[in-house]
Structure 1
Amino acid sequence: MGGPHGRHAGVVTGRAGMGGVRVIVTRPERESRQWVEQLQRAGFAAEALPLIEIGPAASPADVQALQQAWQSLATYAACLFVSGNAVHYFFKQNRSAAQVIPAQAAIKTIATMATEAPPVLPAGLRFMAPGPGTAAALRAAGVPATQIDGPAADAQQFDSQALWQAAGGRDWRGSRVLIVRGQSLAGPHGEATDSAAAPGRDWIARQWTSAGATVDFLRVYLRRAPQPGPAQRQLALSAGRDGSVWLLSSSEAVHNLASFGAIDLRRARALATHPRIAEAARAAGWGLVVESRPQLEDITQALDEMIGSAAGGTAGSIELGHP
């Protein structure tokens, strides 16, 4: 984003006069901080209200599975990371820049990963990212850009279906694919559950299986509903009635809002980064739901139109569709 003298200079000035409409960022805490900073630099009054808590999958079985995945990494043709959090927790113990080595030497070298750094990535392994955020996380973790596959930059959506359009035409017969994922905790005792929170992940796994590949799953992080305090509850209540725009990037986050108690959303506005999320928001009762691609420039454009339309008195009838 440009600063006061950047390409958005005029827009920032206009945003400052839009009545101080807040943007409520609902991503997990680490990501919320980054998005709040970016939106504030763009001139929006952004505030974080995480609707998902993220933590490592740290049971002995999870730790062992992660070690085994690193040791056998060279036996996979592709490794799909479902989100930036999947990248973060997969590489967490090996934060140094990755090295690419010949595939023939990779198996022996990766076997020492638990005690040696930096991590070693097989040169022939393809790293799959469903969107630009996950691809950026992979590059930051040290994965060469030439080994990362994802949807086209101009894709209408960034999800598993768009990724399969880019990768599904290859010959996957006899190949192994690793899907690095998270898992939700639900129930009174925090049981792990494979709920309907990841339809895209399950869909692409079926595509690979149908194409002749063997698909393995690796759980590296856990998701759960937050336990809000009085300040978070008050923010949610006020954001439901004061014209704030909720930035929604997960259907699970929408469902987790129930942990905040009863909130009247009939006058609330939401900006959803995928049609499935928009559908969940409408079902949850948001009075106005707008769709946008998840990239920052698309979100800021959609916010400008939403807030500007509300300032002009047309918020009740706005219909936007950012592909």
Structure 2
Amino acid sequence: MQGLKVLVTRPEPENALTCQALTALGASPISLPMLEIQETTDPTARAALRTQLYNLDLYRFVIFVSKNAARIGSELIDECWPMLPVNINWLGIGQGTTQTLQELHIPALSNPGNNTETMLDWLKPVKMRGEKVLIVRGCGGRPDLAKALEERGAIVDHLELYKRHMPQYTAQTFLFLDHPDVIWATSGESVANLTTYVEQFAPNLKDTVLFVPSERVAQQAKSLHWNQVICAHGADDQRLISATQQHLGR
């Protein structure tokens, strides 16, 4: 990947870490986050989150849907529980989220895949009827996971810790943007936001190879008229690096 220009659209702080990983491989990352993560800071809302977390020991499963959910959630959990409650199955959707949890001393497991669908397949043999599940996520996340678990009889609650915003860029941003060889977009929302800017300021970027984390996001990108879309089967750096190297034939 020596000298390869990779446009990285992760939100911070993950974007900076991914750029560091690419630099270590000799690539030339171009940072352009397509999501901003804003933690819940309102004192009343924070108090409500803590109240919810004081009942954490009532849940059988706690599922984190992203690295940001893992990072922000673990901080709040640490505030409320100096020692983690026992008899909880801690789960991360995707290897990157699970690794983040483990680094923050939450003994999480992960499904073999990297998305909601493979998580649900992985949990098929597990008894869910009557079990309490807490999904840790941002506000307004996808309903698929909760809906599927509730259909199996689980009692599902959400812990919503942050909001996602579209960053503000101008035509000048794209005028001076170094043209990338490939683009990494790690969520459907990132693809949508990137598409909005590209169609307005840099339509030729739609011919650039776009790596996405799942077949669902790949179909979304194709419907938005991206011409070269490759599914990396995961949003973590290693999956994206492997898919990019395979594409390059290296």
Q: TM-score, normalised by structure 2?
A: 0.88
Aligned to 1:82: 65
Q: Which has the larger radius of gyration?
A: 1
Mapped partners of 1:92, 1:235: distance in 2: 38
CA contact (8 A) 2:50 2:76 kept: no
Q: TM-score, normalised by structure 1?
A: 0.69
- Does residue 167 (structure 1) correspond to residue 130 (structure 2)? The answer is no
Mapped partners of 2:157, 2:25: distance in 1: 41
Deviation at 1:229, TM superposition (A): 4.9
SS at match of 1:46: strand
Aligned to 1:11: none
Mapped partners of 2:166, 2:122: distance in 1: 33
CA contact (8 A) 2:34 2:190 kept: yes
Aligned to 1:28: 11
CA contact (8 A) 1:66 1:218 kept: yes
- Does residue 206 (structure 1) correspond to residue 147 (structure 2)? The answer is yes
Amino acid across the alignment from 1:150: S
Q: Identify which of 109, 114, 118 aligns with 1:158.
A: 114
Aligned to 1:178: 134
CA offset digits 1:109-162 (Å, max 9, x no partner): xxxx55xxx632111011111111111111122112xxx23212xxxx411121
Deviation at 1:81, TM superposition (A): 0.7
Aligned to 1:140: 103
Mapped partners of 1:174, 1:268: distance in 2: 48
Unaligned runs of 5+ in 1: 1-14, 96-112, 184-193, 310-323
CA offset digits 1:87-125 (Å, max 9, x no partner): 111123466xxxxxxxxxxxxxxxxx55xxx63211101
RMSD: 2.3
Mapped partners of 1:215, 1:56: distance in 2: 22
Which stretches of structure 1, 4 residues or more, deviate above 6 A after TM superposition? Answer: none
Mapped partners of 2:245, 2:66: distance in 1: 27
Distance 1:175 1:297, change over 3 A: closer
Q: Identify which of 210, 217, 221 aligns with 2:162.
A: 221
Higher relative contact order (CA 8 A, sep 6+): 2
Percent identical among aligned pairs is 26
Mapped partners of 1:289, 1:180: distance in 2: 29
Q: Identify which of 263, 272, 295 aligns with 2:202.
A: 263
Higher mean displacement: 223-232 or 36-45: 223-232
Unaligned runs of 5+ in 2: none
